[in-house]
Amino acid sequence: MSVSGILIATVVVGAVGLFIGLFLGAAAIKFKVEVDEKEEAVLAALPGNNCGGCGFAGCSGLAAAIAKGEAPVNACPVGGEPVGKKIADIMGVEAGSAERQVAFVKCAGTCEKANVDYEYHGAKDCRVMAFVPNGGAKSCNYGCLGYGSCVKACPFDAIHVVDGVAVVDKEACKACGKCVAACPKHLIELIPYKAEHMVACSSKDKGPVTIKACQAGCIACQLCKKNCPNDAIIIEDFHAKIDYSKCTNCGACKEKCPKKIIV
């Protein structure tokens, strides 16, 4: 190749490179996305689990909502109060108080206590039970099926099936709510971390029917309600429920429960 050919090729390549550079620079200016510094700072303060427990599509969604004032600074259930305070400092507002919560499985029907109607051999998934006879092998139609749909849903390894019933590790639970959504029997609820007494039953059957199905079922005898000094217990759908806004953890309900299902 001649010297003139090399020079021409060099000029052409240089010109093309210059054009592309100018084009990309202009495009970057034209299509530049403004970054909200507060949103970036909030996102950096969040734990990054992207669990969705806050109700938004991951941590980035929550950060954007907080920056716009559409979500409270303490909305992250995983980060809890420490993260809420950091974000409050970033946003220049008061953090407020957020009570820590944990998940609780309202069932004590272990393999030893819960009766079964038949032997089930099939997919080990609670959601599949909607398509099998009687909603599962257990005689109680309201009890934990024990196949671990909640276990699979938990991103923090905070729930495990023990003796046929899902059990939450109180310290590992971040109250993201994924197990609550995964349970087809609606047996899991979020309760205050400081709660010391819980009713481990969700049966809506009358006492005699409950007793036939499970030794650990609530029979709605109302002894817990009658002996609660704070009027913190109600009987609804044939089982006891605790109003944690009134409960003082005195333990009177647990003492009086003849079925020992207040744990």
Q: Which has more confidence, 161 or 65?
A: 161
Average pLDDT over residues 138-156: 93
Cross-strand bridge partners of residue 235: 240
What pLDDT does 180 receive? 94
Q: What's the confidence (pLDDT) of residue 190?
A: 94
Instruction: Give residue-wise pLDDT tens across range 90-108.
Output: 888 887 767 889 999 999 9
**pLDDT, average across residues 99-119:** 93
* Residue 50 tokens, joined: 């992207």
Torsion sign, CA atoms 211, 213, 216, 217: negative
Q: Where in the chain is the domain with CATH 3.30.70.20?
A: 101-256
- Six-digit token pair at 49? 């689990």
Residue 1: the pLDDT is 56
Compute CA distances 236 → 24, 77, 201, 239, whole Å. 67, 29, 12, 6
CB atoms within 10 A of CB 51: 20
Q: Where is pLDDT greater, at 25 or 87?
A: 87
pLDDT one-digit tens code per residue, 165-213: 999 999 999 898 999 999 999 999 999 999 999 999 999 999 999 999 9
Residue 3 in this model has a pLDDT that exceeds 80: no
Summarize pLDDT for 212-246 with one digit per residue, the tens: 999 999 999 999 999 999 999 999 999 999 999 99
The predicted pLDDT at position 23 comes to: 72
Q: What is the mean pLDDT of residues 12-27?
A: 74
- 121/192 Cα distance (integer angstroms): 37
Q: Where in the chain is the domain with CATH 1.10.15.40?
A: 37-91
pLDDT greater than 80 at residue 63 = yes
Residues 6+ apart with CB under 8 A from 185: 126, 142, 143, 144, 145, 202
Q: pLDDT band for 27, please (50, 70, 90 cuts).
A: low
Measured CA to CA, the distance from residue 23 to residue 216 in angstroms comes to 73
Question: Within 13 Å and on the Cβ side, how many CA atoms surround 111?
Answer: 7
**For the whole model, what pTM was predicted?**
0.76
Q: How far is CA 193 from the centre of its chain?
A: 14
pLDDT score at 132: 87
CATH class, range 37-91:
mainly alpha
1 CB-near residues (< 8 Å, 6+ apart):
none
Q: Which fold has domain 101-256?
A: Alpha-Beta Plaits (3.30.70)
pLDDT band with cut points at 50, 70 and 90 for residue 159:
very high
The predicted pLDDT at position 5 comes to 67
